[in-house]
């Protein structure tokens, strides 16, 4: 047994053995929901609280004053999470969390109303998570769980999981118009309206969004997006309910891509220019969700979702490196249907005088995928690199046992995930993978804590998790660790003072990943990487000195290294070492204002740290004023007009006329100062 296995086994056993000593008091800060157990002789009410110091829950008020083009922007409420756009606004954002460059979702499990968002075996990258299909004004709550500690989150939940929940009903109708007619010619219109339903207990609403932006780049981005949404909910049985919703969108855009520093330095283009102005794409998604909730003492929840998805992306990262005449533009396509089912039963009962909760659940997912990679020139196909049909199935039962003692809470979990992969190569020439494979993983979890007093608690968490890899890798690398395990552990502290005057948390964490094979969608090839180790500290502070003023700040300091590479050549490219966010919120009467800071430190862009991705600090400002049914608002992004790079990569590229490729930093320029104003009418 190697040192990595010894370490993770020791930490896990430590968490289990010490669980009776480190447990969470039921009166810890910021209670999330209430469990109620009744019998003929006893009624026990238990407050459901955080299970880890890094847990977080955000409601609509937490992101009401944030600028938002899509639900993707609401991810910024997650402490330590950074997003970056580099493809004209239409592609899913790059996600960075806990020392991970999660690409577009490889190590973050994202869901909406228990329906999966991540796309496995995707044409552009594993776990691709595009949230543009959600109208942000419909989001009621965002739950965040960092680390692989909780059994209900399965595939991709290594750095963490983010679960969006949409509102079941509207308190008032909404019509919103906003625009920036000057810098990027952005226009956005949203309407959410209650349906005229006269049946008692039945609620329904529907709406739509239209978004248009030329962008701030030299070449117009022509980003156009249309969203639709509908949701209805009805009571059923004694305490139960059934709901149905439909989310859909379609979008198209152009992109300026990542540009090399040398082209800006020598004056070939400016920061907002492009080398290949035919980049861009189009995508669409329609998701239908039906959910049944029984209510009562042992609530049962059943969720079924069906998704139809289309994706087409044109990119050029190396320009003329491989094809000096026609250029290196690639086209990636993905067409799929997803059927997903989730069942979960919470059984609340007494064992003697001890309240208990047992959670049983199961996830089922079926993806039927057609995925391709092509060499293009100006969006004209020249040759086919990869063309495959993939059938991927996942079955994931899980169980959690919660023991709530007068002085302690213990949470033990176990998850089993079975995968089957079936890959048919429709491109007969070459060495593209084909075949079938099966994988089974068991993931034990343990979470414990100890109260210090009614306002503070200590936490200890540990658990195994994993992220799946592209099906083409799994069938190609039979017998290798193509579903790499992750093991994480965390010790933390959370405090919430009386009346929420001061609250905060601190957590020290570590996360190890086994050797993995990563399918590089841009090349249609496999890249092997060895074991990795990440460790860090998460800090969070909230201060509410008076009713109309609040301050908040959070920071993540992390260090990540490849375990098997020599010192100095073992940096994890683009893994953030420092992220800080801060905000000040003011609300008095009909006027509200907020200012926010988001800061990312410099970080390695390659394994030997010879190329550095440049850090940045951005200040945003928002304000609104209510006039009866109308609300006037203004959002200023990059208030100080800082010059910054949003997405950055170390890439070897060749420009037209260059004798040889050059390896250097390529970047997408971040937005300059932009001002967007508008009006929202609620009635």
- pLDDT of 353 > 70? The answer is yes
Task: Please tell me the distance from the alpha carbon of residue 13 to that of residue 487, in angstroms, as a whole number.
Answer: 12
CA 146 to chain centre: 11
Kindly report the average pLDDT of the chain as a whole number: 86
Task: Please tell me the distance from the alpha carbon of residue 667 to that of residue 647, in angstroms, as a whole number.
Answer: 5
pLDDT tier, 408 (very low <50, low <70, confident <90, very high otherwise): confident
The closest of 86, 652, 88 to 320, measured between CA atoms, is: 652
pLDDT of amino acid 85: 75
- pLDDT of 30 > 60? The answer is no
Mean pLDDT of 75-90: 77
Task: Please tell me the distance from the alpha carbon of residue 404 to that of residue 26, in angstroms, as a whole number.
Answer: 7
- pLDDT of 622 > 60? The answer is yes
Other Cβ atoms less than 10 A from the Cβ of 132: the count is 24
Q: Are 63 and 56 in contact (CB under 8 A)?
A: no
Produce one character per residue of 83-101: b if its CB has 16 or more CB atoms within 10 Å, e if not: bbbbbbbbbbbbbbbbbbb
Q: Where are the alpha helices (DSSP H) in 277-382?
A: none
The closest of 680, 583, 551 to 625, measured between CA atoms, is: 680
- pLDDT of 32 > 60? The answer is no
Task: Please tell me the distance from the alpha carbon of residue 594 to that of residue 76, in angstroms, as a whole number.
Answer: 15
pLDDT of amino acid 407: 79
pLDDT tier, 306 (very low <50, low <70, confident <90, very high otherwise): very high
Q: Are 222 and 253 in contact (CB under 8 A)?
A: yes
* For the chain, the helix, strand and coil percentages under 3-state DSSP, each to the nearest 5: 5, 60, 35
Mean pLDDT of 521-545: 81
pLDDT of amino acid 65: 65
* Per-residue model confidence as pLDDT tens digits over 96-153: 888 887 778 889 999 999 999 999 999 998 899 999 999 999 999 999 899 999 999 9
Bigger pLDDT: 430 or 199?
Answer: 199
Task: Please tell me the distance from the alpha carbon of residue 158 to that of residue 354, in angstroms, as a whole number.
Answer: 32
Asked which of 19-23, 306-310, 392-396 is least confident by mean pLDDT, the reply is 19-23
Asked which of 85-99, 251-265, 320-334 is least confident by mean pLDDT, the reply is 85-99
Task: Please tell me the distance from the alpha carbon of residue 387 to that of residue 432, in angstroms, as a whole number.
Answer: 9
Structure tokens, 92: 């899913």
Structure tokens, 505: 């948390």
Structure tokens, 475: 């069938």
pLDDT of amino acid 670: 92
Task: Please tell me the distance from the alpha carbon of residue 673 to that of residue 681, in angstroms, as a whole number.
Answer: 27
Mean pLDDT of 77-82: 80
Identify each DSSP E strand in 426-548 by its residue range. Answer: 435-453, 456-466, 485-496, 502-513, 516-520, 525-529, 532-546
Provide Rg for the chain, Cα atoms: 25
Structure tokens, 549: 């003023």
- pLDDT of 45 > 60? The answer is no
pLDDT of amino acid 50: 59
Q: To the nearest 10°, report the CA torsion of 467, 468, 473, 474.
A: 130
* Per-residue model confidence as pLDDT tens digits over 193-235: 999 988 989 999 999 999 999 999 999 999 999 999 999 999 9
If you search the block for the tokens 């349906």, which residue do you land on? 195
- pLDDT of 281 > 50? The answer is yes
Q: Are 526 and 515 in contact (CB under 8 A)?
A: no
- pLDDT of 5 > 70? The answer is no
What percent of the chain has pLDDT above 90?
A: 66
Q: Are 628 and 637 in contact (CB under 8 A)?
A: no
pLDDT tier, 6 (very low <50, low <70, confident <90, very high otherwise): very low
Task: Please tell me the distance from the alpha carbon of residue 509 to that of residue 381, in angstroms, as a whole number.
Answer: 47
Q: List CB contacts of 63: < 8 A, sequence separation 6 or more.
A: 74, 77, 136, 139, 142
Q: Are 599 and 580 in contact (CB under 8 A)?
A: yes
pLDDT of amino acid 68: 67
Give 39-103 as a 3 state SS string.
CCCCEEEEEECCCCCCCEEEEHHHHCCCCCCCHHHHHHHCCCCEEECCCCCCCCCEEEECCEECC
pLDDT tier, 239 (very low <50, low <70, confident <90, very high otherwise): confident
CATH class of 3-426+433-682: mainly beta
Mean pLDDT of 293-297: 86
Task: Please tell me the distance from the alpha carbon of residue 227 to that of residue 69, in angstroms, as a whole number.
Answer: 12
pTM of the model: 0.89
- DSSP letters spanning 611-650: SEEPPEEEEEEEEEEEETTEEEEEEEESTT----EEEEEE
pLDDT tier, 29 (very low <50, low <70, confident <90, very high otherwise): very low
* Per-residue model confidence as pLDDT tens digits over 605-619: 999 999 999 999 999
pLDDT of amino acid 52: 72
pLDDT of amino acid 634: 95
Task: Please tell me the distance from the alpha carbon of residue 139 to that of residue 189, in angstroms, as a whole number.
Answer: 17
Task: Please tell me the distance from the alpha carbon of residue 304 to that of residue 590, in angstroms, as a whole number.
Answer: 41
The closest of 6, 18, 231 to 113, measured between CA atoms, is: 231
What's the Cα-to-Cα distance from 128 to each of 116, 281, 433, 491, 667, rounded to whole Å?
Answer: 11, 15, 21, 30, 21
What's the Cα-to-Cα distance from 305 to each of 185, 308, 341, 420, 648, rounded to whole Å?
Answer: 36, 10, 6, 20, 35
Q: List CB contacts of 19: < 8 A, sequence separation 6 or more.
A: 410, 412, 446, 448, 460
Supply the DSSP symbol for 500: G
Other Cβ atoms less than 10 A from the Cβ of 151: the count is 27
Taken as a whole, the chain contains a residue count of 683
């Amino acid at each position: 047994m190697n040192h990595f296995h010894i370490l993770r086994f020791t930490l896990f056993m430590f968490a289990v053995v010490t669980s009776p000593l480190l447990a969470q008091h039921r009166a810890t800060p910021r209670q999330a929901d209430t469990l109620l157990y009744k019998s003929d002789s006893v009624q026990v009410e238990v407050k459901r609280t955080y299970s880890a110091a890094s847990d977080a829950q955000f409601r609509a008020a937490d992101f009401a004053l944030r600028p938002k083009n899509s639900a993707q922007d609401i991810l910024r409420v997650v402490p330590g999470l950074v997003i970056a756009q580099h493809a004209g606004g239409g592609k899913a954002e790059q996600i960075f969390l806990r020392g991970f460059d999660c690409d577009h979702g490889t190590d973050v499990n994202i869901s909406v109303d228990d329906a999966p968002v991540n796309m496995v075996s995707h044409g552009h990258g594993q776990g691709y998570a595009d949230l543009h299909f959600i109208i942000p004004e419909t989001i009621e709550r965002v739950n965040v769980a960092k680390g692989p500690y909780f059994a209900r989150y399965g595939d991709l939940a290594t750095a963490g999981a983010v679960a969006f929940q949409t509102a079941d009903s509207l308190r008032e109708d909404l019509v919103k118009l906003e625009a920036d007619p000057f810098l990027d010619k952005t226009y956005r219109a949203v309407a959410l309206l209650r349906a005229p339903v006269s049946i008692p207990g039945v609620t329904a609403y529907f709406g739509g969004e239209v978004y248009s932006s030329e962008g701030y780049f030299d070449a117009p981005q022509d980003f156009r997006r249309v969203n639709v949404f509908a949701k209805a909910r009805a009571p059923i049985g004694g305490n139960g309910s059934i709901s149905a919703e439909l989310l859909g969108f379609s979008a198209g855009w152009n992109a300026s891509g990542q540009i090399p520093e040398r082209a800006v330095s020598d004056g070939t283009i400016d920061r907002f220019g492009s080398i290949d102005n035919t980049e861009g794409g189009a995508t669409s998604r329609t998701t239908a969700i039906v959910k049944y909730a029984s209510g009562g003492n042992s609530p049962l929840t059943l969720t079924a979702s069906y998704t139809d998805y289309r994706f087409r992306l044109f990119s050029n990262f190396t320009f003329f490196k491989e094809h000096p005449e026609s250029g290196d533009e690639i086209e990636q396509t993905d067409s799929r249907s997803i059927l997903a089912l989730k069942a979960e039963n919470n059984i609340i009962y007494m064992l003697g005088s001890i309240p208990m909760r047992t959670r049983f659940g199961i996830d089922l997912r079926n993806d039927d995928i057609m995925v391709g990679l092509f060499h293009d020139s100006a969006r004209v196909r020249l040759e086919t690199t990869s063309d495959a049909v993939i059938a991927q199935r996942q079955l994931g039962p899980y169980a959690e046992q919660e023991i709530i003692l007068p002085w302690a809470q213990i949470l033990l979990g176990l998850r089993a995930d079975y995968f089957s992969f079936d890959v048919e190569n429709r491109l007969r020439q070459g060495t593209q993978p084909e075949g079938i494979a099966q994988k089974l993983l068991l993931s034990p979890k343990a979470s414990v804590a100890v109260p210090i007093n009614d306002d503070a608690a200590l936490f200890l968490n540990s658990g195994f998790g994993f992220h799946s890899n592209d099906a083409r890798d799994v069938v190609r690398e039979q017998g290798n660790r193509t579903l790499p395990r992750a093991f994480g552990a965390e010790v933390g502290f959370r405090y919430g003072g009386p009346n929420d005057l001061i609250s905060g948390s601190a957590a020290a964490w570590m996360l190890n990943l086994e050797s993995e094979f990563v399918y590089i969608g841009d090349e249609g090839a496999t890249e092997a990487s060895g074991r990795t180790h990440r460790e860090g500290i998460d800090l969070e502070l909230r201060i509410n000195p008076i009713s109309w003023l609040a301050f908040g700040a959070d920071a993540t300091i992390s260090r990540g290294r490849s375990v098997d590479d020599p010192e100095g050549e073992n940096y994890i490219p683009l893994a953030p070492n420092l992220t800080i966010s801060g905000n000040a919120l003011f609300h008095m009467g009909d006027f509200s204002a907020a200012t926010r800071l988001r800061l990312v430190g410099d970080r390695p862009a390659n394994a030997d740290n010879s190329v550095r991705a440049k850090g940045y600090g951005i200040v945003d400002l928002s304000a609104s004023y209510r006039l009866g049914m109308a609300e006037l608002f203004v959002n200023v992004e990059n208030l100080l007009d800082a010059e910054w790079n949003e997405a950055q990569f170390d890439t070897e590229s060749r420009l037209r006329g260059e004798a040889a490729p050059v390896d250097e930093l390529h970047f997408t320029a971040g937005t300059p100062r932009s001002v967007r104003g508008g009006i929202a009418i609620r009635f």
